[in-house]
């Protein structure tokens, strides 16, 4: 018997405000059944590791039935479990065990689109133009004398046009892959179905959702052409003029989402909102909308003092007029990992250690991506093993996101390093990762894993972390220094030379402080 998932955790309605949430890319975290693909049983078996690390909550990426055109972000049934990942009983067991260890569980909600295998889309294909079945999606007639031109000029973020033609001549909209038809949020049935999905998981006891493409969903009336843009891909800034995103009507959907969450005290939603205009981003964080929105500025900042400082200042400014705290991200399953962004190898790892102390010193919530705590880098993969739809759809000009999605190394010195019972994994793991494994690092007090563990323990227990906001302190060129109201001082040195340590009790450092100075590319926490 598992403990009742509803009653184990104390009801704290705003636990997420300063939570450390651990993102699990389900295919790549741990494989419980030996097929080379991560799954729910794998996650469950690693809960002791996660509890020891000290995370407050999990975000599990989509594990719903899916033909995997976009590795689960193409959902064929949002209220069930993909057999590759387990079943509902396995999910319930995972949830109960996580709660039993004091770890909350949040899951991905993918409202903008379904899979083409979803029964609604199959029904839409079988039905006639103008039918109620087609009205759940965005079917339109084409342009040109014979309708052979797409209905507008929108590109798919994965490359190629955002429209695909069906045999009777109509076209359907897909902002992502053709296997991910966009749902029509002007149709009340679509919103009602989203609410049903939320209740399905909330009734099972989940603690909240990460909302995929939370700035999508609403489309402008008449689906007019958008301003032609140089970069309209996944990693572009979908700013004003990009009519595929951030339409005003999206806020009505967020109010519906929030109303459901409010029926379940202590639950929350964090949005993937790629909106760079601060005022527009703040709209998503109004009282009756999302509790959190990822602040991606740290994820896109270069490793320079100016960039990092601006990222922090701008992210805090973006949420300043809202009820939400900031929500910091260094890496996720869509972007190159920060060890690699910061130069890779020993240099990238040294900087990643410093970045961890920066991220975890900031006020608000922090999201870690699985493997951040091991210092995982991106891996160069051969063309023939690439799986991301971006690779095919870009005509082999963009490699996509596989490099940051390599399975986690857990133990041993041979592939798959304890990830799976077999050596072959859905994306191949490289040789030479023995020192990167969790097993090798847990026993080594100098490892990045140990640094993360100490940082999370301090963050959870030290009064130095109390209070919102921060004050910048004077610091030498190329250095960042700030103080939290509770007395935590965080210094990050990117100056190219060692800097003297100021007064204060050292709580934790990302590098050896041997001679009383803070080395280049490192960070320290002081209580002052």
Q: Which 101-120 positions form the footprint of ligand GLC (CB under 6 A)?
A: 110
What residues contact 111, with CB distance under 8 A and at least 6 apart? 183, 185, 194, 211, 212, 213, 216, 217, 253
Q: Contact with ligand GLC (CB under 6 A): which of 73, 391, 426, 433?
A: 73
Nearest distance, CB of residue 188 and ligand GLC, angstroms: 23
How far separated are the first and last CA of the chain, in Å rounded? Answer: 48
The size of the interface with ligand GLC (CB under 6 A), counted in residues, is: 9
**What string of DSSP letters covers 266-333?**
T-EEEE------HHHHHHTTSTTS-SEE-BTHHHH--SSHHHHHHHHHHHHHHHHTSSPPPEEES--T
Of 54, 50, 12, whose CA–CA distance to 29 is shortest? Answer: 50
**Beta carbon of residue 402, minimum distance to ligand GLC (angstroms, whole number):** 12
Contact 104, 94 (CB under 8 A): no
Residue closest to 479 by CA, chosen among 515, 525, 520: 520
Q: Which residue is nearest to ligand GLC (CB)?
A: 73
Note whether 362 and 469 are within 8 A (CB): no
CB of 178 to ligand GLC, least distance (A): 13
Contact 297, 314 (CB under 8 A): yes
What is the secondary structure of 323-344 as a DSSP string?
SPPPEEES--TTS--HHHHTTS
What is the smallest separation between the CB atom of 176 and ligand GLC, expressed in angstroms? 5
Q: Quick one: which of 56, 212, 246, 402 contacts ligand GLC (CB under 6 A)?
A: 212
CB of 108 to ligand GLC, least distance (A): 8
Site for ligand GLC in 271-290 (CB under 6 A): 272
Contacts by 440-449 with C-beta closer than 8 Å and gap 24+? 440/411, 441/374, 442/49, 442/52, 448/349, 448/352, 448/353, 448/356, 448/373, 448/374, 448/375, 449/53, 449/373, 449/374
Cβ closer to ligand GLC: 210 or 341? 210
**Which stretches of 143-296 are DSSP H helices?**
188-204, 250-262, 278-283
253 vs 475, beta carbon nearer ligand GLC: 253
Residue of 70, 82, 179, 207 that binds ligand GLC (CB under 6 A): 70
Q: Are 524 and 451 in contact (CB under 8 A)?
A: no
Catalytic annotation, residues: 212, 263
Residue 78 to residue 83: CA distance in whole angstroms: 13
Residue 213 is a binding residue for ligand GLC (CB under 6 A): yes
Q: Based on CB atoms, which residue is closest to ligand GLC, 73 or 171?
A: 73
Q: How far is the CB of 334 from ligand GLC (least distance, A)?
A: 5
Closest CB to ligand GLC among residues 69, 448: 69
Instruction: Give, as ranges, the residues between 424 and 483 that touch ligand GLC (CB under 6 A).
Output: none
List 59, 176, 245, 294, residue binding ligand GLC (CB under 6 A): 176
List the interface residues with ligand GLC, window 326-345 (CB under 6 A): 333-334
Are the CB atoms for 522 and 510 separated by under 8 Å?
yes
Query: Closer to ligand GLC at the Cβ: 177 or 508?
Result: 177
Min dist. Cβ of residue 110 to ligand GLC (A): 6
Among residues 501, 496, 495, 498, the alpha carbon closest in space to that of 519 is found at: 498
Q: What is the C-alpha separation between 235 and 239, in angstroms, rounded?
A: 12
Helix (H) or strand (E) holding 239: none
Residue with smaller CB distance to ligand GLC, 70 or 520: 70
Question: How many angstroms separate the CA atoms of 306 and 317, rounded?
Answer: 16
156 vs 447, beta carbon nearer ligand GLC: 156
Q: How far apart are CA 219 and CA 213, in angstroms?
A: 13
Query: With respect to ligand GLC, which residue has the nearer C-beta, 334 or 402?
Result: 334
Q: Does 209 bind ligand GLC (CB under 6 A)?
A: no
In angstroms, what is the minimal distance from the CB of 103 to ligand GLC? 22
Binding residues (CB under 6 A) for ligand GLC: these are 70, 73, 110, 176, 212-213, 272, 333-334
């Amino acid at each position: 018997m598992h403990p009742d998932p509803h009653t184990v955790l104390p009801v704290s309605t705003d636990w997420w405000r300063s939570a450390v949430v651990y993102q699990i890319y389900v295919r790549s975290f741990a494989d419980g059944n030996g097929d080379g693909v991560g799954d729910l049983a794998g996650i469950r078996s690693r809960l002791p590791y996660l509890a020891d690390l000290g995370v407050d909550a999990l975000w599990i990426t989509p594990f719903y039935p899916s033909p995997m055109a976009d590795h689960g972000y193409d959902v064929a049934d949002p209220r069930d479990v993909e057999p590759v990942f387990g079943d509902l009983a396995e999910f319930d067991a995972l949830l109960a065990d996580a709660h039993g260890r004091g770890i909350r569980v949040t899951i991905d909600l993918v409202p903008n689109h379904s899979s083409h295998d979803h029964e609604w889309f199959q029904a839409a294909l079988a039905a006639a133009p103008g039918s109620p079945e087609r009205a759940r999606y965005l079917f339109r007639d084409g342009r040109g004398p014979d309708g052979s031109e797409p209905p507008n000029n929108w590109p798919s973020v994965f490359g190629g046009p955002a429209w695909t033609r069906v045999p009777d001549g109509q076209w359907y909209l897909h902002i992502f892959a053709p296997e991910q038809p966009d749902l029509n949020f002007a149709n009340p049935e679509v919103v009602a179905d989203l609410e049903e999905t939320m209740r399905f998981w909330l009734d099972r006891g989940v603690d909240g959702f990460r909302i995929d493409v939370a700035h999508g969903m609403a489309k402008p009336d008449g689906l007019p052409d958008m301003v032609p843009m140089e970069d309209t891909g996944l990693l572009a800034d979908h700013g004003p003029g990009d009519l595929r995103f951030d339409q005003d009507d999206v806020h009505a959907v967020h109010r519906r989402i929030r109303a459901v969450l409010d029926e379940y005290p202590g639950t929350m939603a964090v949005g993937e909102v790629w909106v760079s205009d601060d005022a527009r981003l703040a709209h998503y964080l109004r009282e009756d909308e999302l509790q959190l929105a990822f602040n991606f500025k740290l994820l896109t900042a270069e490793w320079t003092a100016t960039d990092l400082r601006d990222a922090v200042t701008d992210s805090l400014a973006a949420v300043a007029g809202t009820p939400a705290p900031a929500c910091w991200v260094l890496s996720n399953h869509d972007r190159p990992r920060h060890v690699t962004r910061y130069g890779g190898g020993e240099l990238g790892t040294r900087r990643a250690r410093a970045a961890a102390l920066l991220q975890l010193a900031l006020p608000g919530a922090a999201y870690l991506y699985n493997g951040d705590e091991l210092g995982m880098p991106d891996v160069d993969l051969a063309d023939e093993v690439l799986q991301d739809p971006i690779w095919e759809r870009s005509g082999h000009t963009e490699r996509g996101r596989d490099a940051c999605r390599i399975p986690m190394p857990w133990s041993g010195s041979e592939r798959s390093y304890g990830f799976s019972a077999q050596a072959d994994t859905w994306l191949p793991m490289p040789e030479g990762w023995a020192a990167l494994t969790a097993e090798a690092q847990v026993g080594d007090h100098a490892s990045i894993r140990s640094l993360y563990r100490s940082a999370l323990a301090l963050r959870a227990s030290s009064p130095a972390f109390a209070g919102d906001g921060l004050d910048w302190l004077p610091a030498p060129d190329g250095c960042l220094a700030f103080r939290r109201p509770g007395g935590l001082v965080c210094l990050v040195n990117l100056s190219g030379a060692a800097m003297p340590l100021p007064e204060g009790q050292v709580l934790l450092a990302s590098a050896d402080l041997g001679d009383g100075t803070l080395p280049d590319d490192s960070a320290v926490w002081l209580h002052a």
